[in-house]
Structure 1
Amino acid sequence: MNASKPVTVACCQLAPSVGDPAHNRRVSERAIRSAALRGAQVVVLPELAQSGYVFHDRAEALALAETQDGPTLQLWQGLARELGIVIVGGFCERLEGERVANSAALIDASGVRAVYRKAHLWDGENLIFTAGDEAPPVVETAFGRIAVMICYDLEFPEWVRLPALAGAELLCAPVNWPWSPRPDHERPAEVVRVQANASVNRLFVAACDRHGNERGVNWVQGSVIVDADGFPRAGPAEEGGEQILLATLNLADAHNKRISRHNHLHQDRRPTLYGEAGLLA
């Protein structure tokens, strides 16, 4: 890749319908094509965009789950190849032994490059999914070094630090952020955490949320693309609803970890002082 060439990233804030994968494939294809038509080279979809999120139980999730060679990833592979783009999207993955994972695939013109399984499960997800136990992948693509994680993973700074230390330039995170009350005029805490993670790692982050009431659950609708200084370059959109957020980023900026003449975010780390966090050295 040409590290000096800007890259256009899109977050497609959609409303998947739980229990209707065929509909969800149509919605995702429309959004991916629209984003690519507007110049996107990296397209991020929400968490569990293939299946919907609010399952009644594990049996329902299992009935909706797909393997990596299922119709959704086949569709996304065809679109990535046709359009010459990278797609990062969430899906309910069927595992061996009638288990399911909350997963996200990174796909480019050559096919599926990585599948990440959510390591930190949120609330009722613990009753449905098998947690992943592998670090976020960092994939060298035509547009940059891209890492993947999912939603609640972003609340663990040690986890975000791993791909940053591994040389990731852009972290793509499919998310489904359930709405919760917050003080007037305050930004969603989820968005603040994304900005903080980007800033303390000098790492670009694209977090793609969803919209649409699903079985009584509403969403933050906080999709955001954040630069390596921690400032939003696109989103969150105040009006909510379906959105395609676009930002053109110079991912080479993520290589500069200096924040002052005498400070370097990685070299200043003192992991021997951090107890268990020293394992990240």
Structure 2
Amino acid sequence: MTLLRVVCHQLAPRIGDTHYNRTLTERSIRAAASLNAQVIVLPELVQSGYMFTDLEEAHEASETRDGPTLSLWKSLAQALGIIIVAGFCERLSAGRVANSAALVEPSGRLTVYRKAHLWDREKLIFTAGDAPPPVVDTAVGRIGMMICYDLELPEWVRLAALAEADLLCAPVNWPDGPRPVGERPAEIVRVQANAAVNRMFIAACDRYGEERGVNWVGGSVIVDADGYPLAGAASQPMEQQWVADLPLAQARNKSISDHNHVHRDRRPGLY
């Protein structure tokens, strides 16, 4: 069975330091390519950092789709033959910004998704997206994309699954919070559940490092179509490069018994 090598590289971008962050992502992408990775997933807003004070600061750090960061990612994708999924602060019209993610293919094709479900103070800064999560038919399989809090809306994840995504890539920034002793972060558990109920691979790439008083889970995880972790799946707030080889064909088999199918068993008329 053909395997797809995926890397989630957990990094610590610096708020507003776009030059540093570009250099950080280039190092990461080149390192993944040296491992023969076909897909790399980087954190949410890795181009800009996350904890903006206000819209003005976010706008200052934002870039358009033809800005220096996405131009770099395009050139690296083409030169290294790797698919890049990473978050950036997208500059829109009329002084607005979006919390966006880019899927960059070696062919030069660019797909951008704007986060539809904004978390907490993001609502004070970002303009929410109004399009469903894209599912892109790439040379290595059908790849879906969404961002962080989107994963906590099961209906949203189901959209990507029903659009026949083999792999869902999610740049995330999971702020660390209290949890019972011995328990893993709930964000990781939800990723596993979403993968299992849709029989779909999921790669969620978190960040680490303190930023303006906020610490991050550092919980990057790559999950198989049964919901079991292949890499990551624990809070490890440090730089980590998680690698997994995915048999994507398993995601195209939605049967979980001789008489059950995770999508055909749905009865939307009753919901």
TM-score over 0.5 (shorter chain): yes
Does residue 257 (structure 1) correspond to residue 267 (structure 2)? The answer is no
**How much is the aligned-residue C-alpha RMSD, in angstroms?**
0.8
| 1:113, distance to aligned residue in structure 2 (A) | 2.8
Q: Distance in 2 between matches of 1:239 and 1:219?
A: 9
Moved more, 109-118 or 175-184: 109-118
| 1:110, distance to aligned residue in structure 2 (A) | 1.7
- Aligned identity (percent) is 67
1:222 maps to 219
> Do 1:211 and 1:219's aligned partners in 2 also have CA atoms closer than 8 Å?
yes
2:189 maps to 192
Does residue 68 (structure 1) correspond to residue 56 (structure 2)? The answer is no
Q: Distance in 2 between matches of 1:228 and 1:239?
A: 23
Q: Distance in 2 between matches of 1:185 and 1:38?
A: 33
Letter in 2 for 1:128: I
4+ residue runs over 4 A deviation: none
In structure 2, which of residues 146, 150, 153 is the aligned counterpart of residue 149 of structure 1? Answer: 146
TM-score (norm 1): 0.95
Does residue 36 (structure 1) correspond to residue 27 (structure 2)? The answer is no
Q: Distance in 2 between matches of 1:77 and 1:133?
A: 25
Does residue 246 (structure 1) correspond to residue 234 (structure 2)? The answer is no
Secondary structure of the corresponding residue to residue 17 of structure 1: coil
| 1:142, distance to aligned residue in structure 2 (A) | 1.2
Secondary structure of the corresponding residue to residue 16 of structure 1: coil
> Do 2:184 and 2:235's aligned partners in 1 also have CA atoms closer than 8 Å?
no
TM-score (norm 2): 0.99
Secondary structure of the corresponding residue to residue 24 of structure 1: helix
Does residue 56 (structure 1) correspond to residue 86 (structure 2)? The answer is no
Q: Distance in 1 between matches of 2:236 and 2:247?
A: 28
Q: Could you list the runs of 5+ residues in structure 1 that have no partner in the other structure?
A: 275-281
Q: Superposed, which structure 2 residues align to 1:91-130 within 5 Å?
A: 91-130=88-127
| 1:112, distance to aligned residue in structure 2 (A) | 3.8
In structure 2, which of residues 154, 163, 166 is the aligned counterpart of residue 169 of structure 1? Answer: 166
CA offsets, 1:1-53, max 9 Å, x none? xxx42100000100000010000000111011111111211000000000000
Secondary structure of the corresponding residue to residue 225 of structure 1: strand
Does residue 20 (structure 1) correspond to residue 17 (structure 2)? The answer is yes
Q: Distance in 1 between matches of 2:14 and 2:150?
A: 23
Secondary structure of the corresponding residue to residue 187 of structure 1: coil
Q: Could you list the runs of 5+ residues in structure 2 that have no partner in the other structure?
A: none
Residue correspondences, number: 271
